Amino acid sequence: MNRRRPRALTVAAACLLALGLAGPAAAVPPRPAAPAWHPGVPPLATPWTAQVGPDNALPEYPRPQLTRSRWQNLDGVWQFAGAESGQAPPVGRELGERVLVPYPIESALSGIQRHEDRMWYRRTFEVPADWRAGGDRLLLHFGAVDYDARVWVNGIPVATHRGGYDSFDADVTDALTTGPQELIVWAEDLTDATGQPIGKQRRSSDHGIFYQGSSGIWRTVWMEPVPPASIDSLTMTPDVAAGTLRLTPHLRGGAPPGLTVRAVARAGGRVVGRASGAAVDPLAVPVPGARLWSPDSPFLYDLEVTLLDGNRVVDSVGSYFGMRQIGTARGADGKLRITLNGRILFHLANLDQGFWPDGLNTAPTDAALKFDLQQDKRMGFNAVRKHIKVEPDRWYYWADKLGLMVWQDMPATNTGPMPQEWRPQFESELHEMVREHQSWTSIVAWVPFNEGWGEWDRAATGRIADEVKAQDPSRLVNAHSGVNCCNSHGDSGRGDVLDFHQYLGPAFPSPGGDRVAIDGEHGGFGLKVANHMWFGDGQAYEMEPDSATLTSKYVANQEAVLTSARSCGISAAVYTQLTDVEGELNGFFTYDRQVTKMDLDQVRAVNTRIIAGADGSAGHVPQPSPGTPGLTGVTFYPLDGTGADAAGDHDATVVGGAAFVDGRSGQGLALGGATQYLDAGAPVLDTAADYTVAAWVKLDRVDGAFQTVVSQDGPTNSDFYLQYSGADQRFAMSFAGVRALAPVRPEPGRWYHLAGVRDTVRGELRLYVDGEPAGAQSACLPQAGPTGHTVVGRGRYGGNPVDYLDGTVDQVHLYDRALSAAEIKQLFESGE
């Protein structure tokens, strides 16, 4: 077979081919266009969604408390690809997709809009020529990458990091080459498949209280040149009593001998204080006659910190601070309350989840980030609970500037007990969160645990609270928000705060010992707004038909907060919540921030009344009358063959055929566990005041059924129950849902003396068994006056007679005052 060799192209043909003019047979296919970033379409768009583009992705300076003039933002369009476990970095290789950093990849603004367990980011950057002069080092900063991250520059590994809510950086100087520099980031985020801290994130939303997760880079990436010895961070703690700012500069690259630090504080450009010292020592910067920071006057001082070698400036940074002090003090009513700058100030807070329908974990713009906090101020709130999420620095900057006190949660892990292998990581991230944020003026409290989420041991919760307090003694520590809720291991007794959650609420804990009490979550009234719901539908703790009803429910709920503050002594209340989030429709605003759901003038009016009225002043709890003296009481039923009152004032009727048998003293009334009881025919006790009830009782059975010894009927439930609680298998003095419980299970067939006390001044129920204190429980809200009959042997719940006594009762005393422990002991010993 004869093969012909191809002929070489003539010069003319080659030129025509290069110009694309050689005709169809010789045409070269066009080179595919490079991939481009295109935003996804979010289910809901915010007012800022359309403002985001490849050239303006969060361009603001990302670190307001440590500023330098030279920096470069690396946000914008990066190359992107999904990654495999163990895959080598794609050095020098183009990736097939484009992502807008710093929006998490599941978000519409990222342009990816899907989840990847593992992912690659790639881009190049130029280092300005003047940054490389004089021996400066180049730092690469990552605001946050969720969750595990590795970083390469020009193929050289420069950083690894674990943790989705804290920042990290790398000195990349030694990895630089000439020309464009290649930057590659690998991230892995398995979200709720592990024990990592995730807050409200889940791989897939549950259409309930958990939301679409956010993976990968979700805060600004940026770089700056710094001297070899430079200021890395500042720890700033105001000392209002001393009139100073305690300042500790932390240096990168060590502190060569002889370096000093100079700090200058200014107010409106005027120098108010100076301090200098060795670079390794803390400074006390004088702030004489300080103008104090508060929500009503969020004044901030400017600060310049300079690192010096003799008279030569080595490094200089700008910062700011506020002078304020968080503490506690007893009000005129005797209840321990939170103070700001030495004065009692009620913390009225919104619950802030920090999620966005277009950017998920990341607000679309800085103006959007600021908007949420501005609305808190507009509505009359003076505080925010940042709920199990940590925000970018600029969020705290706006809280500082606008004047909002922040209760900062640690992001929770999954709701079950945290796996053993993840506990050290959780504690490490908690302490890093405190370290990175302990200089923000707005933050007033740390919250390690929310409800029972991730909590594994009550003693460990207490230990962790103590360690956070030791790390930052200048703020409150709320060991466990919602200690009464949701798989909680119970109150550790540690920290500065006792925190209850109650939906719809509000909650009514009372301060005790050296701990204040707060309502950490309540509310949750909802409203559907067509075309502004993430799933087209949703729910809340109680749905309302229209805005007017929603507003009135909010106002009434908040008025109850004021009652709780005055009667119970709570120091803070947190309403749920600022905006709708995905399937949760209980916001003041829709999730897209497009629709206001309540009348905000009414919201502000009631909020203002709460802050002004919850000041700890005396007179809100009426002092009880001294009552009837002696140990007989206002009514005494000996139950010796009759229901007669020993004084003849409130003779009672035996109902259902109950029989008189041998009792504790003489005869007693035997009740058969159904239909039988003793009815006084009228309310004997004024339940709006103090009272005590006492009786001898012998139970025929001790099991899971409730049994009531003495009660008084209310409109729906008994006003009180002196009872055996079947749920706890303990004796109790109770209101509906509130029980002062004895510590041990009683024995059937044995006589016990029970006494239950309602103390309105101390706001509690107390139970005594056989003359000894057995239990106490906060029950601080005022009760309504009496409406129903006093009865022996049954209760009332849900409008129905319930909890009939199966046993014998004897010697029933009713008192119109709170007996003392000594009097109850005397009554027991008397045998009556």
- Which of 49-58, 481-490, 614-623, 775-784 reaches the highest mean pLDDT? 49-58
Give the gyration radius of the chain's Cα atoms.
34
| Beta pairing class for 76-82 and 97-101 | antiparallel
Q: According to the model, what pLDDT value does residue 35 have?
A: 87
Output the six-digit token pair for 315. Answer: 């490094």
Q: According to the model, what pLDDT value does residue 571 have?
A: 98
Rounded Cα gap, residues 616 and 336, in angstroms = 8
Q: According to the model, what pLDDT value does residue 22 have?
A: 37
Residue 31 — pLDDT band, cuts 50, 70, 90?
low
- Express the helix, strand and coil content of the chain in percent, nearest 5 each: 15, 35, 50
Q: Please, what is the Cα angle at 438 between 436 and 441, to 5 degrees?
A: 125
Rounded Cα gap, residues 516 and 330, in angstroms = 10
Residue range 108-125: average pLDDT? 98
- Which stretches of 96-243 are DSSP H helices? none
List all residues 6 or more positions away from 766 whose beta carbon is below 8 Å from its beta carbon: 733, 740, 756, 757, 759, 773, 775, 776
Output the six-digit token pair for 260. Answer: 């000093």
Q: According to the model, what pLDDT value does residue 73 have?
A: 98
Q: Tens digit of pLDDT for each residue in 733-766? A: 999 988 999 999 999 999 999 999 999 888 889 9
Q: Tens digit of pLDDT for each residue in 624-678? A: 889 999 999 999 999 999 999 988 788 999 999 999 999 999 999 999 999 999 9
Q: Tens digit of pLDDT for each residue in 332-390? A: 999 999 999 999 999 999 999 999 999 999 999 999 999 999 999 999 999 999 999 99
Residue 15 — pLDDT band, cuts 50, 70, 90?
very low
Mean pLDDT, rounded, of the chain: 94
Residue 256 — pLDDT band, cuts 50, 70, 90?
confident
Residue 780 — pLDDT band, cuts 50, 70, 90?
confident
- Tell me if 245 sits within 8 A of 265, measured CB to CB: yes
Q: According to the model, what pLDDT value does residue 28 have?
A: 54
Amino acid letter, 493: G
Residue 713 — pLDDT band, cuts 50, 70, 90?
very high
Q: According to the model, what pLDDT value does residue 16 have?
A: 29
Q: According to the model, what pLDDT value does residue 487 have?
A: 84
* pLDDT at residue 707 greater than cutoff 90: yes
List all residues 6 or more positions away from 282 whose beta carbon is below 8 Å from its beta carbon: 246, 247, 248
Name the residue among 457, 492, 497 with its Cα closest to residue 476: 497
Whole-model pTM: value is 0.87
Residue 623 — pLDDT band, cuts 50, 70, 90?
confident
Q: Which of 490-504, 540-554, 619-633, 731-745 has the lowest mean pLDDT?
A: 619-633
For residue 537, the cross-strand partners are none
* pLDDT at residue 182 greater than cutoff 80: yes
List all residues 6 or more positions away from 56 whose beta carbon is below 8 Å from its beta carbon: none
Q: According to the model, what pLDDT value does residue 493 have?
A: 94
Q: According to the model, what pLDDT value does residue 30 have?
A: 63
Q: According to the model, what pLDDT value does residue 2 have?
A: 36
Output the six-digit token pair for 244. Answer: 């100073």
Q: According to the model, what pLDDT value does residue 4 have?
A: 33
Q: According to the model, what pLDDT value does residue 1 have?
A: 36
Q: Tens digit of pLDDT for each residue in 155-176? A: 999 999 999 999 999 999 999 9
Rounded Cα gap, residues 263 and 584, in angstroms = 48
